[in-house]
Amino acid sequence: MKHSDQASYLKNWLVIINPNAGAKKGEKDWPKIAALLDKAGFDYTPLFTTHRNHAIELSSAYINRGFKKIIVVGGDGTLNEVVNGVLTQGRYPGTEILVGIIMVGTGNDWSRTFKIPGKYKKAIKVIRKHKTFLHDAGKVTYHDKNPHTRYFINMAGLGYDGLVAHKTNQMKEKGRGGTFAYLISLLLGLFEYSQSTLEIDIDGKNIFTGKVFSMSVGICKYNGGGMMQCPYAIPDDGIFDITLIKSIHKYQALLHLKKLFSGHFEHLSFIQLHKGKAIRIRRKQGASLKLESDGESLGHAPYDFEIIPRCLNMIIKEVEAPL
């Protein structure tokens, strides 16, 4: 990049900071991050979130004021909110908005696929280098009295995954976030979870009707702080990777937990792998079904998913190859 182009690139950034990310690491480390951004030559407007979904409101409003470059200082949830702001604002196509991230969350699953460094100085260096990637997004319609829509950039999960995210988010609200909270929710959720009978259609064809333990709908590979639940996902191929875990006993879930981290589970008899562009899920029987997207707890079934190919312009280091 020429010097004049670099100077122009460093101007007029919006920085959205979640002070509660990473068990308040966002608030604690912001002065250090701000000093590093200043030293790297960035001209920026910092904004702090104060409540859930605030980053959606901020990113949408400031894009409509003319900002087209955003740095997220937060975790997967903050990034998810900014993605929703980018894809719901009405001024520019999503591909004209540049999004980078400095991770201060606990899971940081999206960044694993793109090898974004955890060290702040190195993450800022990645943003400064301006390597971009046209990224798919998922769109899910769910219900909470009325139908709602949410976009996601990494992975959505329902069933047991949705319950674990719900319990983890409850702990975060009480100031007990982090990896420990997730692991506790993972174990406690096993004793609470009641499997539902679902009817699942992919691209208009019924692929499964029966009891489901968990289901992941992936654009990228990782969720849950490093679990590789969609090991073959490619984030710009215009297609979802789906991992369906059929009815299993709780001891089986514990026995094979390690395989969910390694991604080596396709040989297991109770797992199905699918690909598709549109997914329709209906609950036939069982307890109310929980959904999460990028770790954010959403409403209940019925669910409809669709892929939106190459609609986001993300700053990355490099793309990790599928398994």
Q: Give per-residue pLDDT as tens, 227-283.
A: 899 999 999 999 999 999 998 887 787 777 778 778 888 888 999 999 999 999 999
- We report the CATH number of the domain holding residue 294 as 2.60.200.40
Q: Are residues 22 and 166 in the same domain?
A: no
173-182, 219-228, 266-275: least confidently modelled range: 173-182
Sign of CA dihedral 115, 116, 121, 126: positive
| pLDDT higher than threshold 80 for residue 171 | no
- We report the CATH number of the domain holding residue 34 as 3.40.50.10330
Q: Are residues 246 and 290 in the same domain?
A: yes
Percent with pLDDT over 70 in the chain: 94
Q: What is the pLDDT of residues 192-206, one digit of tens each?
A: 778 889 999 999 999
Identify the band that residue 162 occupies on the pLDDT scale cut at 50, 70 and 90: confident
* Cis amide linkage into residue 302, ω under 30° from 0: yes
The last residue of one of the domains, among 92, 115, 130, is 130
Q: Are residues 157 and 279 in the same domain?
A: yes
Query: What's phi and psi for 142, nearest 5 deg?
Result: -135, 180
Q: Are residues 141 and 124 in the same domain?
A: no
Query: What's the rounded Cα separation, in Å, for the pair 22 and 120?
Result: 14
Q: What is the pLDDT of residues 86-96, one digit of tens each?
A: 999 999 999 99
Query: Is residue 117 in some structural domain?
Result: yes
Q: Are residues 233 and 295 in the same domain?
A: yes
Q: Are residues 9 and 124 in the same domain?
A: yes
- Do 177 and 171 form a contact (C-beta atoms < 8 A)? yes
- Do 209 and 271 form a contact (C-beta atoms < 8 A)? no
Q: What local confidence, expressed as pLDDT, does residue 174 receive?
A: 61
Identify the band that residue 98 occupies on the pLDDT scale cut at 50, 70 and 90: very high
Q: Are residues 110 and 166 in the same domain?
A: no
- Residue, of 70 and 250, whose pLDDT is higher: 70
Q: Are residues 218 and 100 in the same domain?
A: no
* Residues in Cβ contact with 153 at an 8 Å cutoff, skipping those fewer than 6 apart: 79, 80, 83, 110, 135, 137, 138, 219, 220, 294, 312, 314
Query: Is residue 283 in some structural domain?
Result: yes
Give the pair of three-digit tokens for residue 232: 């073959």
The last residue of one of the domains, among 98, 130, 162, is 130
Residue type, 318: E
Residue numbers of the domain that contains 302: 137-309
Mean pLDDT of the region 291-314: 94
Spatial CA neighbour of 177 closest among 22, 294, 19: 22
* Residues in Cβ contact with 298 at an 8 Å cutoff, skipping those fewer than 6 apart: 140, 142, 144, 148, 150, 291, 292
| pLDDT higher than threshold 80 for residue 288 | no
The last residue of one of the domains, among 91, 109, 130, is 130
User: DSSP letters of 121-185?
Assistant: HHHHHHHHHT-EEEEEEEEEEEEESEEEEEEESSEEEEEHHHHHHHHHHHHHHTT--SHHHHHHH
Q: What local confidence, expressed as pLDDT, does residue 178 receive?
A: 58
Q: What's the total number of domains in the chain?
A: 2
pTM (two decimals): 0.93
| pLDDT higher than threshold 80 for residue 175 | no
Query: What's the rounded Cα separation, in Å, for the pair 78 and 27?
Result: 14
